[in-house]
């Protein structure tokens, strides 16, 4: 995580090429051999992006095919008469709206709770520094060493019977929000950002009579919007990808987010969804995060770089 | 670093006459901080620290779900260690990690270097290679299942167009695991590419200039400057990748369910099967603890490396 | 963590509650409350949940179902049925049951009630069941599905028997006669080979994944007179590593690698098989007649093109049997008597009331759903005769195509009772194994599976 702090200071994504040289210098670049190599690599990269974008387009084209063309040899790249009806079917029969709304609501709650939990902790550890804060920081960070999957079972038990409170969270979205809010990466991201806020700013507010809460809400948070945005984005994508945990803790299929809901529709022995309708459902599930990503791509990709978090 | 709001605790207070005053001071200095930490302490306490400890307890209990739990001694561990699937699962998880490195480790490095040298379309390439990362893993899994279909799937159809033999992909024990690794690599390499690109841009230009003046050609510069400069980050991502692959669940669960013939039965799937197929939560917990210890050792190595690199870094 | 970090739980809870407002709790609203609230019977109002809502891929069926719920609720003031489309899986059910969050009334397969009874997740409904008029008509074997120690824990409502489903056009194209079924494994193998050679379409697709491999292997073992489990309770032994299983698996292996008459993929799940067969990618598949509606609604299969034969039997040691299973309603342990009574009443109304059955059959036929396919009988006497009469009166399927299957005279063998789904899961790799390699040794695979599953049996979980 220290790495990330260092990274954020040092690394800026190159917006326009050539303001700093890389392996090949500008002078070298004028040589014909280098030019040929450059365009060869360029072509190979283009071919490479066919491998990443191609499958997504294949999914869309499959969703538009009549059942009979879905497994055709040679492959039908684009159906002659696209069956847009498959999207209508997917929207209605797969209850897409409900599951998209569930996912959006889950993501909203997750963002709110994670920001609250991580930002307060990061503020305390960065600026208030109460007694034992170094020890606590270590305890938070040490959870990064513990892969979540290794305590899946006891975590499930905990959700069934929450100690002290003695209640069960099963079936409630809190069963997703609360465990997900224990995210040390967020604390690191925010703490390292708060560390860069000048102490003089906070001291001045204190002299003006502001208490810790006011400083937090009026000075620290408004000045940290980029970091808060990165945390929010990662939270939204993580919620959208969540699969196993919602399947375990949400007993009502109507409250599931889209991934496990689609899984049930694809696998359940009584759902019998034809392949093209399922594909249309997958396209529908992919569009919201895709749009969000295209809008916020700069911030997200910068976030990936600064945190070392791989999405 | 010492700041205005944080005088050292041991500092003498010459004007203090009362014994209560230091307490008050202590309270004033710490109350807000502790209050601000409470939400995180609560959440981490309930949902991480407690479960981690509880997992150890569960692994020594029998029948914790459907009846009154009883102390089971080492019997859950004995059960797990004697299960023939135990070694199958570990072998598969290890192969998963190994294939992951073979297929997925070098590609991002090469891609990052290439994109970084390209003078056109850098933004497009960065975007296009990152795109799969944001696709929900469930969609990724089913999309690949669709493309892997033996008769009429995209990949075999394309192979038949060029008169190549169709491949069994997920349908054969010898190819199922690599086929899964291709899926995971496709889905995850975008983030790694971005991190490498950032590291590449952090390499000082003077190093290349000096090397060029010394007459080093492009390959030598990559070999002698780029790769050594990236050694640290490459090592860290190596470990992150191993730890991440061992944890992969969605792809094998939805694509193969551990088959064909147990060739993709990973440790995670085995834990899931113990718990939710056989209802043997004791065995599931015992295997979780074993996995936990293995991954913690790997994580410790990771943090050790991070720390060492950091000490040698710019700070 | 010491008590220090939990020093003020009230505060952190308040913080969370306040946060609920930010979290858009309004959005969650009634949905979540309905989901996590236990079945309630205060104020004379009774609400219970059930997992049986038909899949939305079949809107006609959903409509019919909801109309009956409406009518029932009108006739039973104060009762609300919260029906969910939450198809049963063993893992899903027991995961929820561990948290006491399974639905109040669950539509489950015959394989699982005994495990549920052992784990204490289902309610004793003896008193409510015995009040129902149909109850006395159960066959002893149907009643045994969900009974233990003289108590009744469930209501079986539909049975199926496995048979050999075939594509009539492909069979004819291969020069075979739909009226003469393959009687033995050898005949069956020859049929599949002939189909593959004459039509180029795989003769047969076998299920292998998501426990279906074990399910179908059990059926084949029955056709050779073999057993899978012996003993009972905690002394149950897995005995499926027997010569019958080996002989069948060798047959299957030969079909795949010598005859090349099997579908190419090894990982075939339940829905996969229906899609493959329904879209004419394989000529034969082992299925029950109750899959016909799905074949029609989801894969637009032509009902006149599908026939059913009885299961071929072992040539050397015919078991003269076929696997039979079905659907059973079970109810949640710990529910109040009001809720249990209401749920049993609903089951009795929707699945066993002859006039309702007749009405829904008419409606199903009117909305173009297949009606009249033969099922395995779970009742006797006049009640059974009435059921049969309704089914035949409104049948819109070519019943002649299933005559040999329906009147086969084969013994209907129930599935093995102990940890059935876990056993199926252990057997999946065996079937997958013989289909992935010509060199795989069935005996070795079966022995490994036996060791694995015996460990599960012995762990007593």
Claim to verify: residue B146 and residue B257 sit in the same structural domain? yes
Contact, C353 vs C138, CB < 8 A?
no
Find the helix or strand (DSSP H, E) in which B213 lies. Answer: helix B205-213
| Helix orientation angle between A184-195 and A96-123, rounded to the nearest 10 degrees | 50
Q: Residue A232: beta bridge partners?
A: none
Q: Measuring CA to CA, how many Å separate C283 from each of B315, C176, C198, C218, C264? A: 70, 12, 12, 22, 13
Give the domain range for residue B310: 47-79+283-315
Q: For C303, what's the count of Cα atoms within 13 Å in the CB-facing half-sphere?
A: 22
Claim to verify: residue B112 and residue B144 sit in the same structural domain? yes
**pLDDT at residue A215 greater than cutoff 50:** yes
Claim to verify: residue B292 and residue B253 sit in the same structural domain? no
Strand, coil or helix: C330: strand
- Give the tokens for residue C306: 């599908």
- C56: closest CA of chain A, how far (Å): 5
Q: What is the ipTM of this complex?
A: 0.86
**pLDDT at residue A168 greater than cutoff 90:** no
B236, closest residue in chain A (CA to CA): A308
Return d(Cα C352, Cα C346) in angstroms, integer. 9
Q: How many domains does chain B have?
A: 2
Q: Does A109 touch chain C (CB under 8 A)?
A: yes
Taking only the tens place, the pLDDT of each residue in C293-345 is: 888 887 888 999 999 999 999 999 999 999 999 999 999 999 999 999 999 99
Instruction: Name which residue leads in pLDDT, C40 or C391.
Output: C391
Chain-chain contact of A147 with B292 (C-beta, under 8 angstroms)? yes
Q: Hey, which of A150-154, B65-69, C244-248 has the most confident mean pLDDT?
A: C244-248
Chain-chain contact of B55 with A153 (C-beta, under 8 angstroms)? yes
Claim to verify: residue B130 and residue B59 sit in the same structural domain? no
Contact, C156 vs C378, CB < 8 A?
yes
**pLDDT at residue C350 greater than cutoff 90:** yes
Q: Which of 161-190 (A) contact C at CB < 8 A?
A: 164-165, 168, 170-173, 177-178
Confidence (pLDDT) at B121 = 86
Claim to verify: residue B195 and residue B105 sit in the same structural domain? yes
Contact, B58 vs B281, CB < 8 A?
yes
What is the arithmetic mean of pLDDT over C135-161? 93
Answer left, alpha or beta for residue A272, where phi above 0 means left and psi between -120 and 50 means alpha: left
Claim to verify: residue B126 and residue B204 sit in the same structural domain? yes
DSSP string, A258-289: HHHHHHHHHH-TTT---HHHHHHHHHHHHHHH
Distance of CA A211 to the CA centre of its chain: 34
Nearest to C298 among A94, A178, A272 (CB): A272
DSSP state of C85: B
Distance of CA C331 to the CA centre of its chain: 17
Claim to verify: residue B140 and residue B71 sit in the same structural domain? no
Chain-chain contact of B37 with A130 (C-beta, under 8 angstroms)? yes
Report if residue B142 sits inside a domain: yes
Confidence (pLDDT) at C157 = 94
Q: What is the average pLDDT score of chain C?
A: 87
- C186: closest CA of chain A, how far (Å): 31
Q: Residue C376: beta bridge partners?
A: C159
At B64, the pLDDT band (50, 70, 90 cuts) reads low
What is the arithmetic mean of pLDDT over B266-295? 90
Q: Among C49, C45, C131, which residue's Cα sits nearest to residue C84? A: C49
Supply angle C-alpha B21, B23, B28, rounded to 5.
95
Taking only the tens place, the pLDDT of each residue in B133-155 is: 999 999 999 999 999 988 788 99
Contact, A180 vs A243, CB < 8 A?
no
My answer on whether omega of the bond before B170 falls inside 30° of 0, hence cis, is no
The torsion of the CA quartet C257, C260, C263, C265, rounded to 10 degrees, works out to: 40
Q: Please list every residue in chain C whose beta carbon sits closer than 8 Å to the beta carbon of residue A173.
A: 28, 32
Nearest to C210 among B49, B257, B279 (CB): B257
DSSP string, B39-67: HHHHHHIIIIIHHHHHHHHHTTEESTTTS
Return d(Cα C203, Cα C285) in angstroms, integer. 9
Number of H helices, E strands in chain C: 19, 13
Confidence (pLDDT) at A129 = 87
Chain-chain contact of C209 with B257 (C-beta, under 8 angstroms)? yes
Taking only the tens place, the pLDDT of each residue in B222-241 is: 888 899 888 888 888 888 88
My answer on whether omega of the bond before B260 falls inside 30° of 0, hence cis, is yes
Q: What is the largest CA-CA distance in chain C?
A: 82
Report if residue B16 sits inside a domain: no
The torsion of the CA quartet C34, C38, C44, C45, rounded to 10 degrees, works out to: 20
Looking only at the bridges linking them, the beta strands covering C411-414 and C321-331 are parallel
DSSP state of A146: S
Chain-chain contact of A305 with B51 (C-beta, under 8 angstroms)? no
Looking only at the bridges linking them, the beta strands covering C154-167 and C321-331 are antiparallel
Domain A91-307 sits in CATH 3.30.950.10: no
* C449 exposure class (CB count in 10 Å sphere: 0-12, 13-18, 19+): buried
Strand, coil or helix: C410: coil
* Phi, psi at A18, each rounded to 5°: 75, 10
- Percentage of chain B modeled with pLDDT above 90: 37
- Percentage of chain C modeled with pLDDT above 70: 90
Report if residue B3 sits inside a domain: no
Q: Among C104, C223, C214, C211, which residue's Cα sits nearest to residue C163? A: C223
Claim to verify: residue B132 and residue B271 sit in the same structural domain? yes
Confidence (pLDDT) at B284 = 92
Of B282-291, C131-140, C366-375, minimum mean pLDDT range: C366-375
Q: Please list every residue in chain B whose beta carbon sits closer than 8 Å to the beta carbon of residue C121.
A: 66
**pLDDT at residue A310 greater than cutoff 70:** no
Claim to verify: residue B126 and residue B228 sit in the same structural domain? yes
Supply angle C-alpha C300, C301, C304, rounded to 5.
130
Confidence (pLDDT) at B26 = 81
Q: Does C200 touch chain A (CB under 8 A)?
A: no
Return d(Cα C153, Cα C143) in angstroms, integer. 10
Return d(Cα A76, Cα A70) in angstroms, integer. 8
Query: Any idea which architecture C162-322+416-459 has in CATH?
Result: 3-Layer(aba) Sandwich (3.40)
- C214: closest CA of chain A, how far (Å): 16
C53, closest residue in chain A (CA to CA): A270
Return d(Cα A135, Cα C96) in angstroms, integer. 38
DSSP state of C280: T
Claim to verify: residue B218 and residue B203 sit in the same structural domain? yes
Q: Please list every residue in chain C whose beta carbon sits closer than 8 Å to the beta carbon of residue A105.
A: 24, 27-28
Claim to verify: residue B177 and residue B304 sit in the same structural domain? no
Of A263-267, B5-9, C25-29, minimum mean pLDDT range: C25-29
Q: Does A123 touch chain B (CB under 8 A)?
A: yes
Claim to verify: residue B289 and residue B249 sit in the same structural domain? no
- A216: closest CA of chain C, how far (Å): 16
The torsion of the CA quartet B200, B202, B205, B206, rounded to 10 degrees, works out to: -130
CA Rg value for chain A = 24
User: How many Cβ atoms from other residues are within 10 Å of residue A243's Cβ?
Assistant: 20
Chain-chain contact of C36 with A171 (C-beta, under 8 angstroms)? yes
Taking only the tens place, the pLDDT of each residue in A40-54 is: 999 999 999 999 999
Chain-chain contact of C55 with A268 (C-beta, under 8 angstroms)? yes
What is the arithmetic mean of pLDDT over A91-113? 93
Confidence (pLDDT) at C321 = 94
């Amino acid at each position: 995580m220290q790495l990330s702090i260092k990274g954020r200071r040092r690394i800026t994504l190159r917006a326009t090429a050539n303001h700093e040289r890389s392996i090949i210098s500008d002078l070298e670049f004028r040589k014909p051999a280098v030019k040929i190599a450059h365009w060869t690599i360029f072509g190979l990269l283009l071919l490479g992006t066919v491998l990443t974008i191609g499958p997504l387009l294949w999914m869309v084209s499959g969703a538009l095919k009549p059942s009979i063309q879905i497994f055709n040899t040679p492959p039908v790249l684009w159906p002659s008469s696209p069956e847009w009806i498959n999207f209508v079917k997917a929207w209605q029969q797969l209850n897409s709206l409900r599951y998209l709304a569930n996912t959006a609501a889950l993501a909203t709650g997750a963002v709110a709770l994670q920001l609250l939990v991580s930002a307060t902790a990061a503020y305390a550890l960065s600026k208030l520094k109460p007694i034992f804060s170094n020890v606590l920081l270590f305890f938070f960070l040490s959870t990064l060493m513990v892969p979540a999957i290794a305590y899946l079972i006891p975590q499930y038990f905990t959700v069934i019977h929450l100690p002290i409170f003695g209640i069960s969270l099963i079936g409630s979205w809190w069963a997703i929000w609360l465990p997900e809010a224990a995210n040390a990466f967020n604390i690191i991201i925010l703490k390292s950002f708060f560390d860069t806020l000048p102490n003089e700013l906070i001291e001045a507010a204190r002299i003006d009579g502001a208490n810790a809460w006011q400083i937090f809400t009026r000075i620290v948070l408004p000045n940290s919007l980029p970091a808060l945005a990165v945390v929010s984005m990662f939270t939204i994508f993580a919620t959208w990808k969540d699969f196993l945990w919602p399947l375990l803790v949400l007993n009502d299929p109507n409250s599931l987010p889209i991934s496990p809901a689609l899984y049930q529709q694809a696998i359940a022995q009584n759902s019998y969804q034809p392949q093209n309708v399922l594909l249309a459902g997958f396209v529908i599930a992919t569009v919201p995060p895709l749009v969000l990503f295209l809008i916020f791509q700069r911030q997200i990709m910068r976030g990936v770089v600064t945190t070392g978090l791989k999405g | 670093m010492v700041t205005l709001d944080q005088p050292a605790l041991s500092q003498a207070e010459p004007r203090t006459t009362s014994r209560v005053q230091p307490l008050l001071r202590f309270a004033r200095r710490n109350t807000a901080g502790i209050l601000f930490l409470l939400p995180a302490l609560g959440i981490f306490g309930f949902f991480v620290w407690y479960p981690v400890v509880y997992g150890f307890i569960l692994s020594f209990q029998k029948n914790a779900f459907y009846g009154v739990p009883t102390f089971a001694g080492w019997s859950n561990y004995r059960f797990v260690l004697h299960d023939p699937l135990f070694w199958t699962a570990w072998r598969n998880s290890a192969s998963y990690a190994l294939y992951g490195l073979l297929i997925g480790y070098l590609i991002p490095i090469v891609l990052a270097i290439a994109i970084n040298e390209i003078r056109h379309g850098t933004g497009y390439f960065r975007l296009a290679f990152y795109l799969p990362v944001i696709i929900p893993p469930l969609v990724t899994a089913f999309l690949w299942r669709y493309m892997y279909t033996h008769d009429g799937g995209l990949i075999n159809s394309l192979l038949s167009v060029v008169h190549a033999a169709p491949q069994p992909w997920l349908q054969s024990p010898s190819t199922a695991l690599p086929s899964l690794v291709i899926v995971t690599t496709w889905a995850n390499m975008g983030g790694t590419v971005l991190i490498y690109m950032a590291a590449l841009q952090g390499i000082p230009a003077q190093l290349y200039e000096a090397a060029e003046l010394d007459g080093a050609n492009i390959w030598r510069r990559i070999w002698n400057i780029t790769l050594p400069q990236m050694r640290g980050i490459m090592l860290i991502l190596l470990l992150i990748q191993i730890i991440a692959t061992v944890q992969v669940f969605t792809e094998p669960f939805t694509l193969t369910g551990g088959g064909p013939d147990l060739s993709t039965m990973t440790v995670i799937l085995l834990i899931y099967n113990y718990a939710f197929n056989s209802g043997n939560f004791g065995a599931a917990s015992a295997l979780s603890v074993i996995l936990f210890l293995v991954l913690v050792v790997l994580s410790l190595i990771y943090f050790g490396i991070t720390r060492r690199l950091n000490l040698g870094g710019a700070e | 963590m010491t008590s220090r970090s939990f020093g003020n739980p009230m505060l952190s809870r308040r913080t969370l509650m306040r946060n609920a407002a930010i979290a858009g709790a309004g959005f969650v609203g009634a949905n979540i409350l309905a989901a996590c609230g236990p079945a309630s019977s205060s104020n004379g109002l009774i609400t219970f949940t059930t997992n049986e809502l038909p899949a939305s891929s079949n809107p006609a069926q959903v409509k019919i179902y909801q109309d009956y719920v409406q009518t029932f609720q009108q006739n039973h003031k104060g009762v609300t049925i919260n029906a969910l489309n939450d198809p049963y899986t063993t893992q899903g059910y027991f995961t929820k049951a561990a948290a006491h969050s399974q639905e109040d009334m669950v539509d489950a397969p015959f394989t699982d009630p005994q495990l549920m009874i052992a784990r204490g997740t289902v309610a004793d409904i003896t008193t409510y069941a015995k009040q129902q008029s149909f109850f006395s008509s159960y066959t002893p074997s149907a009643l045994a599905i969900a009974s233990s120690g003289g108590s009744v824990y469930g209501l079986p409502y539909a049975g199926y028997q496995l048979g050999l489903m075939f594509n009539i056009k492909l069979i004819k194209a291969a020069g075979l006669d739909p009226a003469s079924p393959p009687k033995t494994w050898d005949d069956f193998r020859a049929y599949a080979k002939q189909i593959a050679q004459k039509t180029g379409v795989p003769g047969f697709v076998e299920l292998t994944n998501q426990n279906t491999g074990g399910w179908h292997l059990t059926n084949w073992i029955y056709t050779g007179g073999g057993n899978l489990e012996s003993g009972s309770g905690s002394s149950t032994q897995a005995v499926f590593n027997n010569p019958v299983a080996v002989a069948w698996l060798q047959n299957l292996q030969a079909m795949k690698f010598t005859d090349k008459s099997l579908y190419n993929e090894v990982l075939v799940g339940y829905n996969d098989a229906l899609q493959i067969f329904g879209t004419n990618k394989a000529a034969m598949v082992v299925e029950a007649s109750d899959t016909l509606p799905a074949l029609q609604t989801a894969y637009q299969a032509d009902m006149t093109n599908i026939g059913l034969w009885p299961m071929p039997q072992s040539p050397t040691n015919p078991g003269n049997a076929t696997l039979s299973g079905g659907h059973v309603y079970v109810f949640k342990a710990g529910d109040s008597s009001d809720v249990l009574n209401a749920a049993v009443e609903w089951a009795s109304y929707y699945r066993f009331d002859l006039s309702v059955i007749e009405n829904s059959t008419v409606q199903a036929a009117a909305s173009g759903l297949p009606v009249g396919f033969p099922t395995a009988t779970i009742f006797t006497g006049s009640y059974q005769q009435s059921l049969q009469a309704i089914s035949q009166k409104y049948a819109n399927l070519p019943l002649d195509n299933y005559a040999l299957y329906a009147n086969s005279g084969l013994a209907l063998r129930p599935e093995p009772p102990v940890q059935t789904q876990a056993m199926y899961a252990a057997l999946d790799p065996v079937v997958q194994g013989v289909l992935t390699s010509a060199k795989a040794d069935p005996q070795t695979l079966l022995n490994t599976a036996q060791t694995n599953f015996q460990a599960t049996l012995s762990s007593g979980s």
